[in-house]
């Protein structure tokens, strides 16, 4: 969806959590997720205050966007619940998209220690996911549902997939297995294995190993779309987790390919800023920013509403696994962002051309600002910048923004307050404070669903159209 231009714990629990975590320290340790050594949290507020702010905003977000309107025991994120326009190529009367559903699943499991209803909500979201499979594979989610709870139809093709939503769904299922186990009503681990297998089969290019836009990309013989990728899908921490949990080295190959795309692009086009565009094309020859209107709109080749999520995604890979490639590219990006805004995050514009000039849209959008905070966490040099970002977000009312901005703000707050988590292979669960070495992950701790052999990988077929409406993600 392109952005149009335009019950909970007591304070005592929060204080207990704060007592077991660092507050105002350059070592970002929390009661939940051990972040990589040398990373930071905001330190202008105590941990207890940040936890209280997180819980308050989560409660507000849940009250607005979480819906059970599509059947008994079903939950989804209702993107039009705030009565603001829903963009990004979604059909009229859209109620949700797979990206939003995946965000809801992530938030349910990540906020489980604060919400007694978390597993009930998560299970309801799994059922909704199962109710809306993509036409290509039941392991992928149909990207767009409308009022009446059905998938959108032509020309919106609601029954095809969007890669970012599927990646987040798989990751959330792995976290659920870790949080609650898989011996209950839903076998989270088996579901995760099914989703990972479907992603590898339909959303990873069989020759170049890049993440495709969805199961539909290139299905009509359009090589330009087939060899285009979306920067907001660059979820290297997810990819490493998939490798660590399955032992399948193809996930490492996809991760390495993603970093290679970032390196090649920034060296060629944005060495001083490390900006990347919403979409990068011509991966089969010599990569370029996507041309206008290739997938979504005139800013497909700019740092716009898709790429806004990029610093969050890459930042997570450093926080979780300490990959030096993430540190390298985000160090350049952070330096540019801070200089451009003079350390005032409210000055960050909602879109830039790759040369660093601004796109004429409003600054100070939480979808952009929240991601800057995760990126800032990689180094103590960014402490003032990070504190300013956290404080900026606390001044933003949920009423003033739409689903996209409010949800990315909440996800960013989860990370910045120290509560993001990663799935741990069984052999590492007893030593959860030891970061996983990104160059040598463990083998699968248990049998997993069979992933397709490399020789059997193929593009999904049967969709005769030039492009599916992209998104700040088709997502």
Contact 316, 33 (CB under 8 A): no
State residue 276's pLDDT score. Answer: 98
Instruction: Name the burial class of residue 464, with classes exposed (0-12), middle (13-18) and buried (19+) by CB atoms within 10 angstroms of its CB.
Output: exposed
Candidates 51, 99, 365, 421; catalytic one: 99
Per-residue pLDDT at 61 exceeds 80: yes
Q: Which two tokens stand for residue 71?
A: 């059947």
Per-residue pLDDT at 25 exceeds 90: no
State residue 429's pLDDT score. Answer: 55
Per-residue pLDDT at 21 exceeds 70: no
75-98 mean pLDDT: 92
Q: What is the pLDDT of residues 419-470, one digit of tens each?
A: 999 999 876 554 333 333 444 343 333 333 333 343 333 333 222 223 333 3
Average the pLDDT over each of 7-11, 225-229, 307-311 and give the range with the smallest value: 7-11
CA distance 317 to 159: 31
Bigger pLDDT: 397 or 439? 397
State residue 89's pLDDT score. Answer: 77
Q: What is the pLDDT of residues 158-209, one digit of tens each?
A: 999 999 999 999 999 999 999 999 999 999 999 999 999 999 999 999 999 9
State residue 252's pLDDT score. Answer: 98
pTM: 0.86
CA distance 406 to 122: 20
Where does the pLDDT of residue 33 fall: very low under 50, low under 70, confident under 90, or very high at 90 and above? low
Give Cα 446 to chain centroid, integer Å: 26
294-321 mean pLDDT: 97
Instruction: Name the burial class of residue 13, with classes exposed (0-12), middle (13-18) and buried (19+) by CB atoms within 10 angstroms of its CB.
Output: middle
> Domains, the chain, ranges and CATH?
11-443 (1.50.10.10)
Bigger pLDDT: 232 or 443? 232
Bigger pLDDT: 220 or 168? 168
- Category of 473 on φ-ψ map: left (φ > 0), alpha (ψ -120 to 50) or beta: left
Virtual CA dihedral for 236, 238, 244, 245, nearest 10 degrees? -160
Candidates 51, 151, 164, 278; catalytic one: 164
Query: Is 203 known to be catalytic?
Result: no
CA distance 247 to 183: 22
State residue 12's pLDDT score. Answer: 36
Place of tokens 């340790």: 29
Q: Which two tokens stand for residue 16?
A: 């207990």
Query: Is 99 known to be catalytic?
Result: yes
202-223 mean pLDDT: 95
């Amino acid at each position: 969806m392109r952005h149009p231009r335009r019950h909970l714990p007591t304070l005592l629990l929060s204080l207990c959590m704060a007592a077991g975590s660092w507050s105002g320290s350059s070592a970002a340790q929390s009661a939940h997720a051990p972040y990589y050594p040398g990373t930071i949290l905001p330190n202008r507020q105590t941990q207890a205050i940040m936890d209280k702010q997180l819980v308050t905003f989560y409660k507000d977000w849940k009250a607005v966007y979480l819906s059970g309107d599509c059947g008994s025991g079903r939950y989804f994120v209702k993107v039009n619940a705030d009565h603001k326009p829903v963009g990004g190529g979604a059909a009229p009367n859209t109620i949700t998209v797979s990206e939003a559903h995946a965000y809801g699943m992530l938030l349910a499991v990540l906020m489980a220690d604060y919400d007694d209803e978390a597993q009930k909500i998560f299970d309801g979201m799994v059922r909704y996911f199962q109710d809306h499979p993509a036409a290509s594979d039941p392991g992928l989610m149909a990207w767009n549902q409308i009022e009446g709870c059905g998938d959108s139809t032509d020309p919106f093709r609601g029954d095809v997939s969007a890669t970012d939503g599927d990646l987040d769904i798989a990751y959330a299922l792995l976290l659920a297995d870790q949080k609650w186990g898989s011996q209950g009503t839903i076998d989270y681990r088996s579901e995760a294995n099914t989703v990972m297998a479907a992603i590898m089969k339909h959303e990873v290019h069989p020759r170049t190993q890049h993440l495709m836009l969805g199961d539909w990309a290139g299905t009509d013989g359009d090589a330009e779309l087939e060899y285009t990728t979306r920067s907001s899908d660059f979820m290297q921490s997810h990819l490493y987790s998939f490798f660590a949990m399955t032992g399948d080295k193809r996930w490492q190959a996809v991760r390495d390919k993603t970093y290679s795309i970032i390196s090649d692009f920034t060296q060629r086009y944005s060495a001083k800023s490390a900006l990347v565009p919403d979409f990068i094309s011509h991966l089969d020859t010599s990569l370029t920013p996507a041309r206008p209107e290739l997938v979504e709109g005139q800013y497909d080749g700019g740092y716009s509403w898709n790429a806004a999520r990029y610093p969050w995604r890459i930042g997570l890979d450093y926080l979780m696994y300490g990959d030096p490639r993430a540190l390298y590219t985000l160090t350049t990006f952070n330096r540019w962002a801070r200089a451009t805004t003079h350390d005032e995050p409210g000055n960050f514009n909602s879109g830039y051309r790759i040369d660093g000039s601004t796109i004429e849209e409003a600054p100070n959008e939480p979808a952009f600002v929240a991601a800057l905070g995760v990126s800032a966490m990689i180094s103590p040099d960014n402490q003032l910048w990070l504190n300013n970002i956290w404080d900026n977000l606390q001044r933003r009312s949920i009423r003033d923004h739409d689903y996209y901005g409010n949800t990315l703000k909440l996800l960013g707050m989860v990370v910045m307050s120290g509560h993001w988590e990663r799935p741990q292979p069984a052999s590492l669960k007893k030593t959860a404070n030891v970061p996983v070495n990104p160059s040598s992950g463990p083998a699968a701790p248990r049998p997993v669903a069979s992933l397709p052999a490399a020789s059997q990988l193929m593009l999904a077929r049967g969709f005769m159209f030039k492009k599916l409406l992209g998104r700040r993600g088709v997502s």
